[in-house]
Amino acid sequence: MEEKKTTIDEKSSELRADVRSKNLPFDVPAGSRVDTILIDDANKTIQINFNKEFSYIPFRNKNVEDIYSFFKNYFGDEYSSYKILINTLGFDIRDLIPNFYREKTAYDKNRMPRLLANRPEPVVTNLSAKRNAQNGLTGKNILLWHSHGWYYTVNGNRWEWQRPRLFQTVEDLIPASFTIPYLIPMLENAGANVFVPRERDTQINEVVVDNNSITDEGIFYVEKIYDKNFLWEESGDEGFAFGTPPYPVNLNPFKSGTYRSIKTSEVETAAATWIPNISEEGEYAVYISYASVGESISDAKYTVHHLGGKTEFKINQKIGGGTWIYLGKFKFAKGANENTGKVVLSNTSSESGIITADAVRFGGGMGLVEREGSTSGRPKFTEGARYWLQYAGMPDTLVYNFNKTKNDYNDDYQSRAEYGNYLYGAPFGPNKNRNAKGLGVPIDLSLAFHTDAGITRNDTTIGTLAIYSIEDADSQFVFPDGVSRIANRDLSDIMQTQIVEDLKLTFDPVWNRRQLREAQYSESMRPNFPAVLLELLSHQNFLDMQFVLDPGFKFQVARSIYKAMLKFLSTQYNFNYVVQPLPVTHFTAQIETGKSYLTWQPTVDSLEETALPDYYIVYTRVDDGGFDNGVRTDEPEIKLDIERGKIYSYKITAANKGGESFSSEILSVYDSGSRNKPALIVNGFDRVAPPAVVATEKFAGFVNTIDAGVPDNYDIGFSGIQNDFDPNSEYVSNDAPGHGASNADYETKIIAGNTHDFVYLHGKSFWANGFSFVSSSDEAVWDGIINLDDYKFVDLILGEEKESRRQKKQIDELKGTRFE
């Protein structure tokens, strides 16, 4: 017996030493240690308990099998019949394999949501959309937020960023430059409803139309009655009132006014109309609000009239009442326009009940919350979540004011997840009171999107870190409905894996995968639903930032995150996922008699075999209007009626059961009625690119005087040019952050980029001189689809087209020089 004990003690010591030195035939994360080795002779088990650091790697069937095989006979013949158990975080490592990477028969159902027969209909359904994402994210509710924001510091008595200005941007805006232009639209194109605790609209103008407070001349709230048996009534309960901003801290505008209500009817017998007075033509987000009451119905019909026509929505008023509900972005003309600038709510419904009407707002606008006598003076989209949540009617003590107005920094990061908890409501409500009724919107997952700090002195990125919490604030390992919080690790692992694998194939063959870390961070711990805190890369590291400022990189990361969410939810709800296609290519727009003839080609996604298009959606704009709701075609071509004397513009999306791609470039045609051949406009300006890089031992940074780069449509993250190029310059404070320090003179401005709509601008010159014109992408010319010899006049648009180096030479060597 003594000899047996000596053997196990020796092997245990040997194992501890091998773990510390990583002298094992499998991956051992830095800092891994053996905590305890427990031998149970009665049950013939040996349990090896590793510390938390051992959990920082992803576990798959293969490496788990390798680890168990290694330990099977590790302790000698005397223990060969003993069952080995290998634990970390208090779990068998086999339990840390995400469901997504298992066979369906091996799914752990304890981490899957309880399928509720009474799950409510989506709060917003776009009835005019032509896509059908049945194998995408239809019916799913996703909460995400992009980092920090401009906030008021009580101690400093000023408004400031929460992070330093580095490499021409600031972390408070970096994640927003991924989410607002890319990730959120991708999720919406997949059918999801996306909720954001910060303003998502970059439009600095705002108009609010409400029954309580018509503040500007030309703004109208109008009620119409077609049957005297149906009358609009004033509510006796609280509703929104715009009041007289700025708002003092904790004033809730959704408790400052009233709302209106009316009985439903199978045919329309009444309607309410909101007509804004738009100060400047442009794209405006439209938000609605209403009250959810006992007799609310799930199919309230809203219609947005805009320059592209009208778009109809079905709103489930049973949930989501008492806050801003986002419908979409639409183009509106300047002024009050009853035909092309309004929102109409009908009382028609297939259900018997009550429809309610409250404020509608157009545009994001400027900050309205006052702190110590001043507002932020900045657009809402730059502000921290705490201020938008006050404007959105959230209860202060449950969601955004935990520090009695003395610490906006803490309130800001603590509020983001609690917004989702309040949206969900009992028993998933805010952690101060999980039984709070909330708004009844079941949140399926959340993402806290950040970048962090760190510097490398070599050709390696800091890379991607994922953080999750398997224990909540009450030391519980399950969500309020009993589902295991190991689902948080599943989501984090899938997302980190997807990002790293995709980036290795597209941008950096050695993109660094950091820890898959379990930690009690507020943004990962507070959500009462699956959640991940993503630190994509380092905003302090020059190499990482060379990727950040590349619009193509932002698109790829956003697509990876979207795919990860889709794959996670496909296992949670046990459905076969399909990824939305990539944008089409080789687009041409020709004229035949009385018609436009459009052709294009699908783009193959080498990273995702399901991302094949089943059909396409063609969107049309006439002259300076907005785009319509599109028409569907099953083939990569279509003929559409046109009238002489009008410029018709088109964009194409590819679609499948997973959703809809981003749109193509915009091409235009014009038929003047002349018998002469039309001119051909070729769009050769495809380029979107980061600014020029200069990197030497003593000078490293972005030099915009050489090349400022080209944003994709627009850039919301640019703070100003870099002013500290010394790689040895050290961080002192946020105001003196060392290498990479940048100016602040552009940080509230939207920087114009490649709109992909320059054919129309050139075409207006042909129109003004009576010439017909057609158009084509440059790819269609290169590949011989369009023959330039067929045209007497060719207008080649090149814009800022030029060769663009990639961040890593290996990718240039693999894919060829990028010429965009």
Q: Where are the domains of the chain?
A: 2-97, 140-148+174-201+376-572, 207-362, 585-686+756-819
Q: Quick: pLDDT tens for 710-737.
A: 999 999 999 999 999 999 999 999 999 9
- For the segment 540-548, the average pLDDT, to the nearest whole number, is 96
Burial bucket for residue 62 (CB in 10 Å: 0-12, 13-18, 19+)? exposed
Predicted local distance difference test score (pLDDT) of residue 820:
47
Predicted local distance difference test score (pLDDT) of residue 213:
73
User: Domain 207-362, what architecture?
Assistant: Sandwich (2.60)
User: For residue 342, which amino acid is it?
Assistant: K
State yes or no: pLDDT of 7 exceeds 90.
no
Does domain 140-148+174-201+376-572 sit in CATH 3.40.630.40?
Answer: yes
Q: For residues 373 and 362, is the Cβ–Cβ distance under 8 A?
A: no
Work out the end-to-end distance of the chain between its first and last CA atoms, rounded to an integer number of angstroms. Answer: 75
Residue 108: which of 486, 489, 467, 564 has the closest Cα?
486
Predicted local distance difference test score (pLDDT) of residue 458:
75
Burial bucket for residue 771 (CB in 10 Å: 0-12, 13-18, 19+)? middle
> How sure is the predictor about 112, in pLDDT bands with cuts at 50, 70 and 90?
very high
Q: Which two tokens stand for residue 516?
A: 């898959």
Residue 631: which of 190, 129, 124 has the closest Cα?
129
State yes or no: pLDDT of 56 exceeds 50.
yes
Q: Cα(30)–Cα(71) distance, rounded to whole angstroms?
A: 20
State yes or no: pLDDT of 184 exceeds 90.
yes
Strands (E), 602-740: 615-622, 631-633, 637-641, 647-656, 659-660, 667-670, 679-683, 693-695, 700-702, 714-715
Contacts of 497 (CB under 8 A, 6+ apart): 58, 564
> How sure is the predictor about 460, in pLDDT bands with cuts at 50, 70 and 90?
confident
> How sure is the predictor about 114, in pLDDT bands with cuts at 50, 70 and 90?
confident
Sign of the alpha-carbon torsion through 737, 740, 745, 748: negative
Say whether 213 sits in a helix, a strand or coil. Answer: coil
- Cα 438 off chain centre by: 23
Q: Cα(674)–Cα(644) distance, rounded to whole angstroms?
A: 10
State yes or no: pLDDT of 675 exceeds 80.
yes
Q: Quick: pLDDT tens for 586-601.
A: 999 999 999 999 999 9
| Element holding 285 (H helix, E strand) | strand 282-288
State yes or no: pLDDT of 653 exceeds 90.
yes
Predicted local distance difference test score (pLDDT) of residue 1:
40
Higher pLDDT, 768 or 213: 768
Q: Cα(586)–Cα(590) distance, rounded to whole angstroms?
A: 13
| Dihedral (Cα; 564, 568, 570, 573), 10-degree rounding | -150
Predicted local distance difference test score (pLDDT) of residue 816:
60
State yes or no: pLDDT of 219 exceeds 90.
no
Q: Which two tokens stand for residue 637?
A: 């071509």
Q: Quick: pLDDT tens for 251-303.
A: 999 999 999 999 999 999 999 999 999 999 999 999 999 999 999 999 999 99
Burial 405-425 (b: 16+ CB within 10 A, else e): bebbbebbbbbbbbbbbbbbb
The residue written with tokens 């995702």 in the block is 608
Predicted local distance difference test score (pLDDT) of residue 216:
62
> How sure is the predictor about 45, in pLDDT bands with cuts at 50, 70 and 90?
very high
Predicted local distance difference test score (pLDDT) of residue 654:
98
Cα–Cα–Cα angle for 545, 550, 553, rounded to 5 degrees:
95
- For the segment 606-634, the average pLDDT, to the nearest whole number, is 98
Q: Quick: pLDDT tens for 345-395.
A: 999 999 999 999 999 999 999 999 999 999 999 999 999 999 999 999 999
Residue 522: which of 506, 538, 533, 509 has the closest Cα?
533
- Cα 123 off chain centre by: 18
Considering all CA atoms of the chain, what is the largest pairwise distance in Å, rounded to the nearest integer? 105
- For the segment 99-105, the average pLDDT, to the nearest whole number, is 96
Higher pLDDT, 450 or 5: 450
- For the segment 575-579, the average pLDDT, to the nearest whole number, is 97
Residue 793's region, left for phi above 0, alpha for psi from -120 to 50, else beta, is: beta
Query: Which CATH code of 2.30.30, 3.30.300, 3.30.70, 1.10.3470 fits the domain covering 2-97?
Result: 3.30.300
Q: For residues 649 and 330, is the Cβ–Cβ distance under 8 A?
A: no
Percent of the chain with pLDDT over 90: 91
| Element holding 760 (H helix, E strand) | helix 758-768
Residue 628 Cα distances to 161, 311, 650, 651, angstroms: 39, 8, 10, 10
- For the segment 633-643, the average pLDDT, to the nearest whole number, is 98
Q: Quick: pLDDT tens for 693-705.
A: 999 999 999 999 9
Q: Which long-range contacts (CB under 8 A, 24 or more apart) does 617-621 make?
A: 617/130, 617/131, 617/652, 617/653, 617/655, 617/660, 618/650, 618/651, 618/652, 619/650, 619/651, 619/652, 619/653, 619/663, 620/648, 620/649, 620/650, 621/308, 621/648, 621/649, 621/650, 621/666
Peptide bond into 427 cis (omega under 30): yes
* Fold held by 585-686+756-819: Immunoglobulin-like (2.60.40)
State yes or no: pLDDT of 630 exceeds 60.
yes
Cα–Cα–Cα angle for 451, 453, 459, rounded to 5 degrees:
95
Say whether 688 sits in a helix, a strand or coil. Answer: coil
Percent of the chain with pLDDT over 70: 97
- For the segment 749-757, the average pLDDT, to the nearest whole number, is 96
Predicted local distance difference test score (pLDDT) of residue 312:
98
User: How many helices and strands in the chain, by DSSP H and E?
Assistant: 13, 44
State yes or no: pLDDT of 215 exceeds 60.
no
Predicted local distance difference test score (pLDDT) of residue 647:
98
Mean pLDDT of the chain: 95
Q: Which two tokens stand for residue 263?
A: 């009985």
